[in-house]
Amino acid sequence: MESYLSNFGNANIQGINQFPELVFSISIMRKFGDILIGKVIPLTIVLLLLFTILFVRDRTDGFNNVIGCSGLFFVLIIDHINLRESVAPDEIMFLEYAYFLSYALLLFVAATSFDILKRGEEYGIKTDSMIRKYFWTVVLGIMTVVTAMRFW
């Protein structure tokens, strides 16, 4: 019961009185373990596998490299669809930007496989070395920029 300096439109009440209040308390808790294990870890593993493709890819057969990337794409698209169905948001969620980045990286690795096949072995060694050197810098840098744009 609270005291107010108002009669709340009831002229029969005079002075300061005790008014009953209707109070709701809502407690919301989020289970981060489910999201972490179900979405973030598989996404991280796909990125790690994509990174290892850069080390083991055959510079003379771009088609096999694309098959590896397409398998990872299939895993990502199924996981992404599952995420959208389980949460059903109206807008793009923060975690989806990591999926979009992964799609772009898969396309990039597949495209460079054919570019290396076209230009030759020496070009492939230089390209793979540069991509491996900056892979995680680019991934984490883009996610940092997305985080800053999304939350600030």
Cβ atoms of 40 and 95 closer than 8 Å: yes
Give pTM, 2 decimals. 0.76
| Closest by Cα among 69, 145, 150, 79 to 110 | 69
Q: Is 3 helix (H, G, I), strand (E, B) or coil?
A: strand
Place of tokens 């540069």: 130
Model pLDDT for residues 106-151, shown as the tens digit of each residue: 999 999 988 888 888 888 889 889 999 999 999 999 999 999 999 9
CA Rg value for the chain: 27
Cβ neighbours of residue 53 closer than 8 Å, sequence gap 6 or more = 65, 68, 69, 109
- The DSSP string of 61-110 is -HHHHHHHHHHHHHHHHHHHHHHHHHH--SS--HHHHHHHHHHHHHHHHH
- The pair of structure tokens assigned to 104 is 């772009």
Model pLDDT for residues 20-73, shown as the tens digit of each residue: 677 788 888 877 777 778 888 999 999 999 999 888 887 777 788 888 899 999
**At how many degrees (to 10) do helices 62-87 and 94-119 cross?**
170
